[in-house]
Amino acid sequence: MQVTSPKADRLLVLGTGGTIAGEAGSQHDNVGYRAAQRSVSDLLGSLPVPEGLTVQAEQVAQLDSKDMDHATWQQLLARVHAAQADERVRGIVITHGTDTLEETAFFLHTLLGDSKPVVLTCSMRPATALLSDGPQNLVDALAVAADPSARGVVVVCAGQIHDPVGVQKVHTYRPDAFASGDEGPLGQVLEGRPVWHRRTARPHQAAAPEALAAALAQPVQDWPWVAVLSSHAGATERAIDAWVAQGLSGLVIAGTGNGTVHEALEAALQRAAEAGVLVWRSTRCVGGPVLEGGASPWPIAEGLNAVKARVALLLTLLARRTTA
């Protein structure tokens, strides 16, 4: 349980855009909208605030989360890191688009630890929709951020509280677009009250402490280039060789099944490794971990899907630069 200062009387809400801030020409249009049109202050509007607390709103970015970038991550990290050290702040809420929410959540989770709650929330319907899900998700996120028993980074959507390690966007349209895999959600928000079923654990790939300083200090254009490549029928080595020639630092292979890799890729992966590229393995499958076994020499990104493995590999390389 976090220790709450008597002065901690506010929630900080950071806006980054997304569908939750989107607008369409008709209240019946749930897909033909433009994301990131309304400010986070507008979204909060007249929404209820947890008793005894005030809300401070700040616009960190205004973008469609399909376009999320490292510069925005760096800004968010710096602002949340500062807020966690501010004794006036009880918790932090981040409004975010659904497309890359799981990546941002994992990035922050890996670097910030389990102190004050950092709650990412979103919507699958724009703000102009007849039945927009954004307001309820935001109210639920505020309730979780205010909960004295909440800690660390979590994702709140459609009444569920998700672990940033296991959560994935698994549906293109439904308001309940996220799932937490085999372990299920951490809890639920029921009538404005968080009900916890379990607590999140730190990921096996947690970044070294040096990665936090590196991520905050290094210009994002100097961050290592880490890519994801899917193994699939008809795969060829050309992409790998081209990326290595252009300065690739790390590569995550989204393998088939139990992280298996097409034989046509193996020689190019070996050449990449000899050139200094760090190669990790994950899976294309939505459910289940990659298990040890088989002859593949490439380390497993244990418990992480390919896009989160990319984040973990990026932070690993950043930490190595700092300690080199």
The 3-state secondary structure of 129-174, one letter per residue = CCCCCHHHHHHHHHHHHHCCCCCCEEEEECCEEECCCCCEECCCCC
For position 233, which CATH number holds? 3.40.50.40
For position 37, which CATH number holds? 3.40.50.1170
- Please indicate, yes or no, whether residues 175 and 233 belong to a single structural domain of this protein: no
- Please indicate, yes or no, whether residues 18 and 107 belong to a single structural domain of this protein: yes
What does the pLDDT read at residue 201? 61
Stated pTM of the model:
0.95
- Please indicate, yes or no, whether residues 94 and 179 belong to a single structural domain of this protein: yes
Q: Please check whether residue 215 lies inside any domain of the structure.
A: no
Could you report the per-residue pLDDT of 246-262, keeping only the tens digit for each?
999 999 999 999 999 99
Final residue belonging to a domain, choices 196, 212, 247: 196
Q: Are the CB atoms for 92 and 12 separated by under 8 Å? A: yes
- Residues tagged active-site: 19, 98
Split into its structural domains, the chain has a count of: 2
Final residue belonging to a domain, choices 181, 196, 211: 196
Q: Are the CB atoms for 319 and 218 separated by under 8 Å? A: no
Q: Residue 234 has which token pair? A: 């008809």
CA 73-224-76 angle, to 5 degrees, is 10
- Please indicate, yes or no, whether residues 51 and 144 belong to a single structural domain of this protein: yes
Q: Please check whether residue 136 lies inside any domain of the structure.
A: yes
Contacts of 163 (CB under 8 A, 6+ apart): 154, 155, 180, 183, 185, 186, 200, 201
Least Cα distance to 107 among 323, 320, 322, 316 occurs for 316
Residue 47 has pLDDT above 90, yes or no: yes
Residue 107 has pLDDT above 80, yes or no: yes
Final residue belonging to a domain, choices 154, 179, 196: 196
Distance CA(129)–CA(113), nearest Å, equals: 36
Q: Residue 33 has which token pair? A: 């909208």
- Please indicate, yes or no, whether residues 39 and 140 belong to a single structural domain of this protein: yes
Q: Please check whether residue 64 lies inside any domain of the structure.
A: yes
Backbone angles phi, psi at 299, to 5 degrees: -60, 150
Q: Are the CB atoms for 232 and 186 separated by under 8 Å? A: no
- Please indicate, yes or no, whether residues 170 and 282 belong to a single structural domain of this protein: no
Q: Please check whether residue 211 lies inside any domain of the structure.
A: no
- Please indicate, yes or no, whether residues 128 and 235 belong to a single structural domain of this protein: no
Q: Please check whether residue 1 lies inside any domain of the structure.
A: no
Q: Please check whether residue 203 lies inside any domain of the structure.
A: no
Mean per-residue pLDDT, 210-222: 90
Q: What residue numbers bound the domain in which 311 lies?
A: 222-323
Q: Please check whether residue 152 lies inside any domain of the structure.
A: yes
- Going by pLDDT thresholds of 50, 70 and 90, the confidence category of residue 2 is low
What does the pLDDT read at residue 211? 86
Q: Are the CB atoms for 303 and 273 separated by under 8 Å? A: no
Could you report the per-residue pLDDT of 163-195, keeping only the tens digit for each?
999 999 999 999 999 999 998 999 999 999 999
